[in-house]
Structure 1
Amino acid sequence: MAITLIVGALGVVFDTTIVSVALNDLSKDLDAPLSTIQWVSTGYMLAVFITIPLAGWAQSRLGGRHLWIVALGGFLGGSILSALAWNATSLIVFRLVQGLAGGIMMPLMYTLLMQATKGRNIGKVMAVITVPTALGPILGPVLGGLILYLADWRWLFLINIPFCLVGMWLARRNLPDDRPAPDHPRARLDAVGLLLLCPGFAALLYGLSQVDGRTGFASAQVLIPLLAGLALVGGFTAWALTRAADSLVDVRMFRHRSVASSSTLLFLGGISLFGSMLLLPLYFQQVRGATPLGAGLLLIPQGVGALVARGLAGRYMDRVGPRAVALVAFALVAASTVPFAFVTADTSEILLMAALFIRGIALGAAMIAPMGAAYVGLEHKEIPDASIITRVAQQIGGAVGIAILIVILQQNIGDAHTPNALANGFDHAFWWSVALTAAAVPLCLLLPSLPQPAAPADNKARKISKRTDPTAH
């Protein structure tokens, strides 16, 4: 089941970052300024945020398998249309279609697997299911640079077709048919909550994406959408508290310490992951003169480290609990970022790649522990809301991290042109990244300390369980 979900999700995860290296090529081929082409990425992310809160309601109406297949089909259609785009406007519109489908899929992927495992072996489950979400920001730019080296930008979207087709076939074959019975009461859509929460998230993300290094957060194009977004999200919170479980997202989930602490850590983890993924490629390109493909290839050690971390973090999380794993992981992320705060134009690439490998291991564990901890002690019906809340927390954290580090980087670089002067500006930005990550370390103590009980270890145990449970069949 995990493999089925991962195959379908790979296209969505890579598509979030794969286009970032192609903006210059798109600007030339579609004869549009970068300020317009930037909406190919920004519009996609806004569309993702619009549909994330809808995942729980849509699953209750359609069932998980049917919703997964419908969302994959929508993403497939958006990918094909994007590859056929004839100008910048059409490409932006078709990317919105992709984003609307992708926003449903990511929280749904976590929900389906956590519901199937009934909260057991959380570490092992998260080690598997978080593989694509960890590799997307790391390997996406590498894959994008390789495609642009071998072919044109349209293949950035055509590459999604096999993931979608195979993912739909596997879903029909392997996912349980959990559609509600015809006489089952249908969940009603919280229309007021929809009109408050979805535009609120989109406004927050848009405002953060408009942050400029010269004016920071003080410009009207940043403040107006940020304040509007905060007002809408605040209005939704007040509305949701009056509707309890009937709201679009049940905000009472924050009464669970596991959900509240995990969301906070995932917010800070988003800053560490996405913020650094802005700084690292820029450092390799601006200071060391690497090409986009070369910068992507230099980041491979971090991706390899993230892969290595999956099994280790999952195993230890089930043994000693998420608190200890998160504490060590966030401390190691901060420590392994320190070497980049001393970078110069001549710093050894071997040293940097070794630091990236260690940082990848730490980041992988830092994502698994809080994501898995969010589900500890939850009932089956609460899992969709937890998936939505944690997904939004991580994405908002990433947007905040990028916005903050853009301001710090551009203010410290100024008019610098020489490699060493540019490196000095990056030093300041990396120190801020270290500080923001270190702030998460004491918060790890709020996570659950004990591991969840494991599922029956072998087939014999499962057979005994079925024979002794009269409802097993």
Structure 2
Amino acid sequence: MWPLCLPCSVSPSHPGGATSTGGAGPLPGTAAAAAADAAAAGPHARPWAALWALCLGFFMILVDSTIVSVATPALMQALGAGVSEVVWVTSAYLLAYAVPLLITGRLGDRFGPKNLYLAGLTVFTVSSAWCGLTSSIEPLVVARVFQGLGAAMMSPQTMAVITRVFPATKRGQAMGAWGAVAGVATLVGPVLGGVLVDSLGWEWIFFVNVPVGVVGLVLAWRLVPTLPTHSHSFDLLGVALGGVGMFCVVFGIQEGRTYDWGTVVGPVTVWGLIGTGVAVLALFVLWQARNRREPLVPLSLFGDRNFSLANLAITTVGFAITAMTFPLMLYAQTVRGMSPTQAALLLAPMAVISGVLAPFVGRLVDRVHPRYVAGVGLLAFPVALVWLSAVMSPGSAAWQLLLPVALLGVANGFMWSPLSTTATRNLPMRYAGAGAGVYNTTRQVGAVLGSASIAALMSSRLDALLPGGAPVAGEGPSAGQALPAALHEGFASAMAQSMLLPAAVLVVGWVAVLCFATPRHLRADPGNDTAGREASEDVPAG
């Protein structure tokens, strides 16, 4: 489907100037440093081969964000656990994935993206086997924490490698493929989970990662180039402040509904945690501004207008993708009587269309202003959600649902590549990992906000529209119960109205992408790869 064999190997734009790990060499972030990156990758470097090797692991960690939801009943029965305990199987993974992303992105700059990716994939694969071998809920949750940590080590490195091995004029195609992987993974997780649980048992939603992880390790070891690192001091205070702040905020938002937005334990409350996290993150930002050596998150990154706007837009996208899934899946199972696998297959047109569009959109991003490409996606997304809201009734035909889902595929195809490419296009090479870490963090924070917000809104609408309030026990799509036909209308209306929240949030993202500045490579000669590469790299570190 994608151009696997394109002759896109990166060649140095200037001879000489090798970069060493700790010292002399060309100034990071210049065209000479970019040439050194290409030289270190080898004269026969194959960037597309490296991309597909990385995408295998990236696909796996995204699938594991959603695959457990379908297995909730099986886990409850096999491990003798309640819904609130089983929810932690997913929550622990997402928490451990989201919190360290700022740090792991920077570690990739310091120790090399390939090294950190391989270490993360090893942790993820071993933890997957550990998950499948557990026989009670507590060790499963602990194993999922380690899985999340492995995922956090891997995720920013995929973007960082793309940024460093592809020239600016080819980067959109690469990010298009990367984005298509993210889109397809949203469908594969629930469907694969349903098939594996039904046929082999819940353990296999984790065991399946082991052979895939081993293959991914071999491919990454052989195909991903070892890129030069630069001498970085490590901001230990920044690590502490960023980690504590992110944990408090993400935990509070993600688990607030579990504790009814009240007391967590003793004097600790959900809102107290969130407030503490916000205060600590404010201190983190202040320290990053005052740190005269090398901060964990260089605030100069946000001096690039497109980087800031792309991060705002991807936050709304993360919010919307998570938020739309819950009401749609609950409607499909509770009102339409679909099985979890059947409900997940409703999203098949979205995955197929986004996968087909991604390579074409990627090439378009390299030639056309990103505001137009991303603008199409960020406009189609809320339109599709409003359309879905209008047809989510008990008696609507299946084709009425599939048409707006197909428009969601168009939206996905036009979003991922321009957003990720525009976020990283102008960044200095030595900040590729830091920029990727920030981008992935904002996406995950958006997803956490979407999950918490949609849960509160669904509960509110069910209380308003159904006699006696919400009849759904549990935290996810697989927790829906069969309803009497008399309640179908009220339940469907509650889910349909809930879809309007992510649509409204996406309008903010749409406005953000309309404000994108013209990328540097489009101001240079469009037919000159070297000019495009230099325009991308020659950005002051700030």
- In the TM superposition, residue 42 of structure 1 has moved relative to its aligned partner by 0.7
CA distance in 1, matches of 2:402, 2:374: 23
What residue identity is the alignment partner of 1:66?
A: N
Q: Which residue of 2 aligns with 1:469?
A: none
Which of residues 250, 255, 264 in structure 2 aligns to 1:205? 250
TM-score (norm 2): 0.79
Q: Which residue of 2 aligns with 1:287?
A: 335
Q: Which residue of 2 aligns with 1:358?
A: 407
Query: Secondary structure of the equivalent of 1:177?
Result: coil
Note if 1:143 corresponds to 2:192: yes
Note if 1:341 corresponds to 2:389: yes
Which of residues 412, 432, 438 in structure 1 aligns to 2:501? 432
CA distance in 2, matches of 1:66, 1:444: 34
- In the TM superposition, residue 424 of structure 1 has moved relative to its aligned partner by 1.1
CA distance in 2, matches of 1:160, 1:214: 32
**C-alpha contact 1:269 1:367 (8 A) present in aligned 2:** no
CA distance in 1, matches of 2:365, 2:99: 33
CA distance in 2, matches of 1:456, 1:167: 35
Structure showing the higher helix proportion among its residues = 1
CA distance in 2, matches of 1:158, 1:371: 31
- In the TM superposition, residue 397 of structure 1 has moved relative to its aligned partner by 0.9
What residue identity is the alignment partner of 1:8?
A: G
CA distance in 1, matches of 2:345, 2:506: 25
Percent identical pairs in the alignment equals 24
CA distance in 2, matches of 1:217, 1:448: 44
What residue identity is the alignment partner of 1:288?
A: R
- In the TM superposition, residue 94 of structure 1 has moved relative to its aligned partner by 0.7
Note if 1:370 corresponds to 2:419: yes
- In the TM superposition, residue 221 of structure 1 has moved relative to its aligned partner by 4.1
CA distance in 2, matches of 1:245, 1:257: 24
CA distance in 2, matches of 1:130, 1:340: 23
Which sections of structure 1, spanning at least 5 residues, go unmatched?
A: 466-473
**C-alpha contact 2:102 2:297 (8 A) present in aligned 1:** yes
**C-alpha contact 2:129 2:207 (8 A) present in aligned 1:** yes
1:49-448 matches, cutoff 5 A: 49-178=98-227, 180=229, 185=231, 187-212=232-257, 221-243=269-291, 246-342=294-390, 343-414=392-463, 415=469, 418-448=487-517
- Cα deviation code 1:250-281 (max 9, x no counterpart): 23311110111000001111112111122221
CA distance in 2, matches of 1:306, 1:455: 30
CA distance in 1, matches of 2:336, 2:171: 42
- In the TM superposition, residue 215 of structure 1 has moved relative to its aligned partner by 5.8
CA distance in 1, matches of 2:106, 2:114: 14
What residue identity is the alignment partner of 1:321?
A: H
**C-alpha contact 2:426 2:519 (8 A) present in aligned 1:** no
After superposing the two structures, state which structure 1 stretch, 353-362 or 112-121, moved more: 112-121
CA distance in 2, matches of 1:217, 1:307: 42
TM-score (norm 1): 0.91
What residue identity is the alignment partner of 1:317?
A: V
Distance change (3 Å), C-alpha of 1:456 and 1:338: closer
CA distance in 2, matches of 1:244, 1:337: 46
- Cα deviation code 1:363-383 (max 9, x no counterpart): 232222221111232211122
What residue identity is the alignment partner of 1:152?
A: G
**C-alpha contact 1:52 1:103 (8 A) present in aligned 2:** yes
After superposing the two structures, state which structure 1 stretch, 400-409 or 95-104, moved more: 400-409
CA distance in 2, matches of 1:295, 1:433: 20
- In the TM superposition, residue 14 of structure 1 has moved relative to its aligned partner by 0.9
CA distance in 2, matches of 1:425, 1:16: 26
- In the TM superposition, residue 124 of structure 1 has moved relative to its aligned partner by 0.7
- In the TM superposition, residue 118 of structure 1 has moved relative to its aligned partner by 4.1
